[in-house]
Amino acid sequence: MSAKVIKALVDISTTMRYSGEELKQFVHDDRMRIDREKEAEIERQHKEKATEDERRRKFELEKLKLESETKQKEIDALAKQKEKEIGVLARQKETEAKQREMKLNAQINL
């Protein structure tokens, strides 16, 4: 406790007509009260920080989850697009093969 605080306590207790042991007890009790208040404030700050940290972790987790879902949707869309392209290429090759076969048949029939 600072000297100013102790002096103020002594002044207050003197004004309240405390003396000797009563004064010591008054100063002791007030120191204890101030210490409890400081501890309570520190505990409140720790709880507040823990709550803020937990909120931030939840936010980051949700953000990662959404990013993951978005990436998965993009992957699925690309996969569907590739499947369509593969299907188109397969039909083109099939058509080309049929055309060649028809040309060969036409040449054979001549």
Question: Residue 15's domain spans which residues?
Answer: 3-109
Contacts of 34 (CB under 8 A, 6+ apart): 1, 5
Q: For residues 11 and 17, what is the distance between their CA atoms, to the nearest angstrom?
A: 10
The CA–CA distances, whole Å, from 59 to 26, 50, 53 equal 49, 14, 10
5-58 pLDDT, tens per residue? 777 767 776 777 666 677 778 778 888 999 999 999 999 999 999 999 999 999
Q: For residues 105 and 110, what is the distance between their CA atoms, to the nearest angstrom?
A: 9
Q: How many domains does the chain have?
A: 1
81-105 pLDDT, tens per residue? 999 999 999 999 999 999 998 888 8
- Residue 109's pLDDT band (boundaries 50, 70, 90)? confident
Task: State the pTM of this model.
Answer: 0.51
